[in-house]
Amino acid sequence: MKKMNHKNISVNVEYLTRVEGHGNIVVDVTNGVLKKCNLEIVEAPRFFEAMLRGRSIFEAQHITSRICGICACAHTLASVQAAEDALGIEPTDQTTRLRELLLDMEILDSHILHIYLLAAPDLLGVKSFVPLIDTHPKVIRRALRMKKTCNDVCDILVGRHIHPISCIAGGFTKLPHAKDLESMHSLLMGMQPDMDATVDLALQLKFPEFERETEYVGLVNDGPGYPLLTGDIGSSDGKRVHKKDYKKVTNEFIVEHSSAKYARLSRESYAVGALARTNLNFNKLCAGAKMVANAATYKPPVHNPYLNTVAQLIECVHCLDHSIGIIEYFMEHGIRQEELMLVGLNEKHNLPVKAGNGVGAVEAPRGTLYHNYETDDQGIIKNANCIIPTAQNINNIEHDMKSLVPGILDKTEQEITLALEMLVRAYDPCISCSAHFLDVRFEGQ
């Protein structure tokens, strides 16, 4: 295997798969010195905010759920939160619990896919998930079985396995009945053996050793629960702001080499996602999740971004436990069917409408997601702003890369490339939902 030329490196490595969207990693080492190390995002804007202008705030969640097929529920929830905030509507306790259940399912679904499809192949030393069909036949079927369970629960809860239709501003247009609760409970209890097997598998994986301390950002609250749906925005550097002030957190800025905006807070960059959440709120995880963390010797604060996959595993255990708890609560207390709402576009003025400016902030699988709508007195959206987690993470990934590369220049081209690919993949970035490839290119003189 050829070793890297430390003084002048010029290598082109054709595409990295298992990343959503189109971006390039460009590394330039000259005379053994790192001159450039960029994550270039070259996706075109998708103009969802422009699509929202002129539309009713009561249909915003149906439009924005299409931003992403994996985070459709999180977009829906951020959207209805923003709408309710703008309209001055306070969701009921039942609505909040059911929304938490929906978000649990999405995080579980997304994390399972990332652990099995994207991370495991690297850590098992195979090129992709496909060879695992022959070498690990039970693994692939387990992943699909777990995904199906999440999809089936979403189907029962919100009418579709993706792009929910019954979750609206103010509540739900369809509420589960006793038999639905039993079905969901049975499905999730049936998932437990697969979750145990997933933990066993993931605990065998070996992750690269690399640390870079950064600022971790996510929802925080003063209550006992692990905050995924509600709370203020907090950071590991001690910042805490109300979600209305999300722009004081994101501080978006642009760079020449990327079509995506960058974000920073107290430092040069910050991270959102499972690693950030577990760093901020570890004590609020369920006991089973903490046991898995202990077995993985995962002790926050964790500064190794590769361990985001372990953080996702921990959250999977938490979300499964938490979702079963929500369903059992409703099995015991019942669902108040009188809370069912049929609003449509509010043609019958079921909900009071006023001009407003509302913000929704929820923890999507990849991190904190913001929706902000400004509406007129008819509930028509005048301005919209959506900030997705990956847009906040890109700057941090780039700083991770800059910190990682100098320490591995003695590695082969292949090893450096794999380390960079795995680093990017560890964040499970959703660069865009119109995906192509990520090229890794080393430049030299």
Partner 1 sequence: MNLGLSEEVMNALLPAQAGRTAYVLLGNSLRGDDGAGVFIAENLPADHDNIIIINAGDSPDSIFYHVLEAHPVKTVIIDAADFNGMPGEVRTFSHSRLHEAPMSTHRFPLKVVAQLIEEDAGCEVHLVGIQIRCACLGSPMDACVKKSTRAIIDCILMSMDVT
Burial of 93-107, coded b for 16+ CB within 10 Å and e otherwise, reads ebbebbbbbbbbbbb
Identity (one letter) of the amino acid at 313? L
Query: Binding partner 1 by CB under 8 A: which of 45, 69, 190, 334?
Result: 69
Q: Judged by CB under 8 A, does residue 130 bind partner 1?
A: yes
Binding segment for partner 1 among 11-19, 84-92, 383-391, 392-400 (CB under 8 A)?
11-19
Q: Judged by CB under 8 A, does residue 64 bind partner 1?
A: no
Binding mask 408-437 for partner 1 (x = CB under 8 A): --------------------x-x--xxx-x
Q: What is the distance between the alpha carbons of residues 184 and 192, in angstroms, rounded to a whole number?
A: 13
Task: Determine the length of the chain.
Answer: 445
Q: Judged by CB under 8 A, does residue 22 bind partner 1?
A: no
Q: What is the DSSP string of 167-188?
A: EETTEESS---HHHHHHHHHHH
- Comparison of 114 and 185: residue with beta carbon closer to partner 1: 114
- Comparison of 116 and 262: residue with beta carbon closer to partner 1: 116
Q: Judged by CB under 8 A, does residue 110 bind partner 1?
A: yes
Q: Which two tokens stand for residue 375?
A: 């509406």
Q: Judged by CB under 8 A, does residue 129 bind partner 1?
A: yes
Q: Judged by CB under 8 A, does residue 48 bind partner 1?
A: no
Q: What is the distance between the alpha carbons of residues 151 and 162, in angstroms, rounded to a whole number?
A: 7
Q: Judged by CB under 8 A, does residue 62 bind partner 1?
A: no
Identity (one letter) of the amino acid at 90? E
Q: What is the distance between the alpha carbons of residues 233 and 281, in angstroms, rounded to a whole number?
A: 12
Size of the site for partner 1 (CB under 8 A): 32
Angle at 88 between CA 86 and CA 90, to 5 degrees: 120
Binding mask 357-396 for partner 1 (x = CB under 8 A): ----------------------------------------
Binding segment for partner 1 among 29-37, 141-149, 212-220, 279-287 (CB under 8 A)?
141-149
Q: What pairs with residue 363 in β-bridges?
A: 368
Binding segment for partner 1 among 67-75, 203-211, 245-253, 394-402 (CB under 8 A)?
67-75
- Comparison of 153 and 280: residue with beta carbon closer to partner 1: 153
Local structure of residue 275 (DSSP, 8 states): H
Q: Strand 23-30 relative to strand 11-16: parallel, antiparallel, unpaired?
A: unpaired
Query: Binding partner 1 by CB under 8 A: which of 118, 265, 319, 426?
Result: 118
- Comparison of 83 and 154: residue with beta carbon closer to partner 1: 154
- Here the contacts of 65-70 (C-beta below 8 Å, separation 24 or greater) are 65/162, 65/163, 65/164, 66/163, 67/386, 67/388, 67/433, 68/388, 68/430, 68/433, 69/162, 69/163, 69/433, 70/106, 70/109, 70/110, 70/113, 70/162, 70/365, 70/430
- Comparison of 255 and 435: residue with beta carbon closer to partner 1: 435
Binding segment for partner 1 among 143-151, 235-243, 276-284, 330-338 (CB under 8 A)?
143-151
- Residue 30, C-beta contacts closer than 8 angstroms, at least 6 positions apart: 7, 8, 9, 444, 445
- Least separation in angstroms between residue 313's CB and partner 1 is 15
Query: Measured between alpha carbons, how far is residue 111 from residues 104, 297, 350, 411 in Å?
Result: 11, 20, 38, 30
Binding segment for partner 1 among 13-21, 35-43, 295-303, 332-340 (CB under 8 A)?
13-21
Residues numbered 389 to 408 that lie near partner 1 (CB under 8 A) are none
Span between the terminal Cα atoms of the chain, in Å = 22
Q: Judged by CB under 8 A, does residue 140 bind partner 1?
A: yes
Interface residue list for partner 1 (CB under 8 A): 15, 17-20, 68-70, 110, 113-114, 117-118, 128-130, 133, 140-141, 144-145, 147-148, 151, 161-162, 428, 430, 433-435, 437
